[in-house]
Structure 1
Amino acid sequence: MNTPTLSILIYHRVLARPDPLLPSLPDVRRFDGQMALLKRCFNVLPVSLAVRLLRRRALPPRAACITFDDGYADNADHALPILRKHGLSAAFFIASGYLNGGQMWNDDLIEHARQMGLGPEALDELLMRHKYLPMEEREQVARALAPARREQMMMTSEQIRKLLGAGMEIGAHTHRHPILASIPDAAAWADIVRGKATLESITQTPVRLFAYPNGKPDQDYRHQHVQMVRELGFEAAFSTVAGVACEGSDPLQLPRFTPWEPDRLRFLLRLAAQRRKAVWRAG
């Protein structure tokens, strides 16, 4: 049985060099190797095209696409040149409220952990303790703990236009990256609308792709948020449910997975295992 499947990868950052505090994040060397392997072994498609082909049951064999969440400046500085080197396209989901000098709460806590000499496990515990606090409280606590900023971490409007001009796609990721299930519906609607409108003002083009912040269904977003996304005219939306999209996948709740593996062999094995699992479930 030839079951068409689509592997959708999630990235957040591509670092200039490895960071012992953030071992799961790829640096430019690891990312370059992953993109070379992906290009060699898969049919890598622009996200919008991949979604259309999935709906029409017309995906090529070993279809894959690449996404980035949040809007870090290193996406434009480090990831983009590597994507262009390999002739690949990606979609970048931007939390518009942090553009042009903003910083997300988790990065404030990461820098606090670095200053305190904490390791990766202690950092993970710190982030989890704060993730589901009310949004305003979470940001207030993180700002109070954060040391002075050493660099601008998030994109500028000009970098978004640079990505678009290089053939990349821009998607929405809300304005302030709230966990939608934790705020009133009216606030969730307003934040999604503002994020979409801000990006459309920057790009002067419709924004048709969306990624749910944090992305776990029922825990981080609920059915009413999917309906909001539908009403706002998004053509596809993405969760963080680990898996591979296939026939019957909800186009407004497409699964994705993060390639944590530090070497190319395990990266490839992970991709293959996800696809086998999807085919087994389908058939």
Structure 2
Amino acid sequence: MQQGIRDCLKRAAISGGLETAIILKNLGLMRDAAGLGAIFTLHHVRPPQPRRFAPNAHLEISPEFLDRALTRLKRDGYDFIALDALPERMASKGDRQPFAAFTLDDGSRDNLDHALPVFARHNAPFTVFVAQGLSERTHSIWWETLADLLDRLDHLTFDFGAGTESFDLDRAGQRQAVFARFATYVHGRDEREAVGRVDELARKNDLEPLDLVCASIMDRTELKQLVAHPLASLGAHTVSHRALARLPEAEAAAEMALSADYIAGITGRRPAAIAYPYGTADAASSREARLAAELGFAIGVTTRPGTIAAANAATTLLPRLSLNGHYQKARYASALASGIPMRQFKMLLRP
């Protein structure tokens, strides 16, 4: 119950901050916060799918909202550019209209079915970041596995390391609290081991994690179909989708290099960009930015919220703005692009 109340209060505060940012933007205040432009990040683009329990709702937006957001940004004067063109755009001199680049993480099939038609309608280039292990069905998506598992169960037992605990999932707010407990567990220890235990728990309850991957993630054939479109490109997103900053350097570098090789095998050329899994400060550090540059990536993107500033020379550790499923109003995309929420309210709209 307490977790639910906190979530509601946080969303209300964020919505209020975004509304205030729109007012300040319309008054012509804090114009410098917008910088040169912005990189937007998305995950799922698909029609709403009502569920009893939806802890990952922030990761999905409707095609209609994407269409409205692009229309609003275009009206605001944004130039839609390919992500690969960003370093040159950042280095260019003189006054240019602000730019917006669009990225989608993980390679969901709805990126092909629902996002592509919207981007095509607006002539907006976009980059899909692909994790090899998901595309090749060798790795699971733990947050999706957990969402499905907790939605179907009314009672759960699990040992987080201090003995077996039991959870009555019918209690108000308990599913969300347990989901948060698992997220802390995954990020607080060896991620491969933790995800393996989540998968094992799912299989014991007749849920196959790799079936969820097959149902939602594009395979190699579908990725080739996607990049046949002139507006679409692929970027690297590692093999296993683990937090790189928590891996030994050699292992992190291997994840990045193998991911680039995989994309090159699909498109015929090595990708210019990589998205660091999770993308938070504790998951992607200056070490990863250095490794990306050494491996030949021109661009590395995080999920740290922010616009692209003229003085930002670290093109392998760039911020992005999340189009969040809890805030599907076109004016909110405009508010985010203004940079005002991050400058004035210090909000972290994480994907």
Classify the TM-score, shorter chain: 0.7 to 0.9
Distance 1:58 1:236, change over 3 A: farther
Shift in Å, 1:80: 1.0
- AA matched with 1:33: R
Task: Report the Cα distance in structure 2 between the residues aligned to 1:258 and 1:226, rounded to whole angstroms.
Answer: 20
Given candidates 131, 143, 155, the residue that maps to 1:95 is: 131
- 9-18 or 53-62, which moves further after superposition? 53-62
Partner of 1:281: none
Partner of 2:235: 171
Q: Which has the higher contact order (CA 8 A, sep 6+)?
A: 2
Shift in Å, 1:73: 1.5
- AA matched with 1:40: R
- AA matched with 2:333: F
Task: Report the Cα distance in structure 2 between the residues aligned to 1:276 and 1:186, rounded to whole angstroms.
Answer: 34
Task: Report the Cα distance in structure 2 between the residues aligned to 1:229 and 1:221, rounded to whole angstroms.
Answer: 11
Task: Report the Cα distance in structure 1 between the residues aligned to 2:91 and 2:239, rounded to whole angstroms.
Answer: 28
Partner of 2:199: 143
Shift in Å, 1:192: 1.0
Shift in Å, 1:271: 2.3
- AA matched with 1:155: M
TM-score by structure 2 length? 0.72
Given candidates 158, 180, 186, the residue that maps to 2:244 is: 180
Given candidates 21, 40, 46, the residue that maps to 1:9 is: 40
Task: Report the Cα distance in structure 1 between the residues aligned to 2:286 and 2:260, rounded to whole angstroms.
Answer: 19
Shift in Å, 1:196: 0.7
Partner of 2:299: 236
> What is the total number of aligned residue pairs between the two structures?
277
Superimposed CA distance per residue, residues 259-278 of structure 1 (whole angstroms, 9 cap, x where no aligned partner):
22222223322322448949
- AA matched with 2:126: A
Distance 1:274 1:169, change over 3 A: farther
Q: Aligned Cα RMSD in Å?
A: 2.5
Distance 1:183 1:264, change over 3 A: same
Given candidates 59, 62, 68, the residue that maps to 1:33 is: 68
Distance 1:124 1:62, change over 3 A: farther
Given candidates 322, 325, 328, the residue that maps to 1:258 is: 322
TM-score by structure 1 length? 0.88
Task: Report the Cα distance in structure 2 between the residues aligned to 1:246 and 1:237, rounded to whole angstroms.
Answer: 15
Distance 1:206 1:161, change over 3 A: same
- 51-60 or 91-100, which moves further after superposition? 51-60
Shift in Å, 1:79: 0.9
Partner of 1:82: 118
Shift in Å, 1:59: 6.9
1:213 aligns with 2:248: no
Shift in Å, 1:242: 0.6
SS in 2 for 1:152: helix
Partner of 1:64: 100
- AA matched with 1:78: H
Shift in Å, 1:7: 0.9
Task: Report the Cα distance in structure 1 between the residues aligned to 2:132 and 2:93, rounded to whole angstroms.
Answer: 33
Gaps of 5+ in 1: 279-283
- AA matched with 1:245: I
Task: Report the Cα distance in structure 1 between the residues aligned to 2:108 and 2:135, rounded to whole angstroms.
Answer: 9
Partner of 1:105: 142
Shift in Å, 1:136: 1.8
Equivalent pairs: percent with the same residue?
A: 21
SS in 1 for 2:102: strand
- Tell whether the 8 Å contact from 1:70 to 1:94 is kept in structure 2 after alignment: yes
Task: Report the Cα distance in structure 2 between the residues aligned to 1:129 and 1:229, rounded to whole angstroms.
Answer: 28
SS in 1 for 2:235: strand
Larger Rg: 2
Partner of 2:16: none
Task: Report the Cα distance in structure 2 between the residues aligned to 1:220 and 1:64, rounded to whole angstroms.
Answer: 25
Task: Report the Cα distance in structure 1 between the residues aligned to 2:275 and 2:95, rounded to whole angstroms.
Answer: 22
- AA matched with 2:42: Y
